[in-house]
Amino acid sequence: MTAGPGRTPRRIGPFDVPAIGLGCMNLSHAYGVPPTPEAAARLLRTALDQGVTLFDTAALYGFGGNEQLLGRVLAGDRDRIVLASKCGMTGVDGRRVIDGRPETIRHTADRALARLRTDTIDLYYLHRIDRQVPVEESVGAMAELVAAGKVRALGLSEASAATLRRAHAVHPIAALQNEYSLWSRNPEQGTLAAAHELGVALVAFSPLARGFLTSAPPDPAGLPAADIRRGMPRFDDRHYPANLALRHELARIAEDAGLTLAQLALAWVTSRGPHVVAIPGTRSTAHLRENLSVLDAEVPEEALHAAGLVLNSSTVHGPRYHEATLTEIDTERCGRAG
């Protein structure tokens, strides 16, 4: 039997989207020197031509630069796409700041609309839960954006099942975006099931484990100084060699199934439920096509099962983030993986 995601649309609030969209962060943010504007635009146009409809950005990415990029490149095709962005975490004086106050959310939304060159954002997430502000207040302000016609649907990011339920009681939540991959299983501690129960899409960011589950895994020693993976325990000297050994096993499973490792990893994530949508990011048009090709691939169920046994929250080495970062994230923790 096969279990690829196929071409059947998946639902995010009022929108139908393919099981795989595009995370746009790395075109402007987090992974060292970004591509040139021309290369970034080429990647976005290729994604559109290949049938991607869900494009995911945030005010934080490039401190507004990513929203400007999408606005510049995609504004002319606005009616063809589902445009998602985020508030509640922005760049202030060169620093990342979590701020879920209603007045900040309203200001961030107005700036996002201008950068994105649109009158309405299709899906607007609270990027992080501000522990100084009740989530009901933050979501209440976002609900006002819906009432004003500035936003069509609401989402949360890096939030727990309990927080999802609290937010959903204020205004329907269309999507919950949490990290989910073979090596990050936190959604299995509650949010995957809660999202399904409430009719909420689970949007999986970093489904390829920040490049680890691709044909060219990063060399931690060669990462640029500004690459966020330099500060992630799974990529440090204590843990990375053991994780590479697990990756070698996964690569053999993928090869035996006639798949690339990225295809296997994306098929695994999207097989976790009909409400799961993956948003891998890439700077390579070749990798983009490889990722999207899994929509038409035949994926043996036994390969998915074997992959899940090899790499999971019990076998991965190192937590997702260092403790200081984990304290500002609301998601459930799982096992020694954090």
222-247 confidence digits (pLDDT tens): 999 889 999 999 999 999 999 999 99
Given this model, what pLDDT does residue 336 score? 54
Query: Quick one: what percent of the chain has pLDDT higher than 70?
Result: 98
- Is there a domain that residue 20 lies in? yes
In a domain, 2, yes or no: no
Which domain does 161 fall in, by range? 16-337
1 part of a folded domain: no
Tell whether 10 is covered by a domain: no
For the cut 90, the answer to whether the pLDDT of residue 159 exceeds it is: yes
For 268-308, write each residue's pLDDT tens digit: 999 999 999 999 999 999 999 999 999 999 999 999 999 99
Q: Is residue 176 part of a domain?
A: yes
Residue 4 pLDDT exceeds 90 = no
| Structural domain count, the chain | 1
Weakest mean pLDDT among 112-116, 135-139, 224-228, 267-271: 224-228
Average pLDDT, the chain: 96
Mean pLDDT over 174-199 rounds to 98
Structural domain includes residue 223? yes
In a domain, 3, yes or no: no
Give the model's pLDDT for residue 230: 95
Residue 266 has pLDDT above 80, yes or no: yes
CATH code, domain carrying 87:
3.20.20.100
- Of 288, 233, 292, give the one whose Cα is nearest residue 42: 288
Is 31 a catalytic site residue? no
At 16, is the pLDDT very low, low, confident or very high (cuts 50, 70, 90)?
very high
pLDDT of 338 reads: 46
Residue 8 lies in a domain: no
CB neighbours of 15 closer than 8 A, spacing ≥ 6?
A: 54, 82, 122, 123, 153, 174
Q: What number is the average pLDDT over the span 247-256? A: 98
- pLDDT tier, 337 (very low <50, low <70, confident <90, very high otherwise): very low
At 58 the pLDDT is: 98
Instruction: Tell whether the model's pLDDT for residue 72 goes beyond 90.
Output: yes
Q: What is the mean pLDDT of residues 46-65?
A: 98
Q: Which of 31, 61, 125, 240 is catalytic?
A: 61
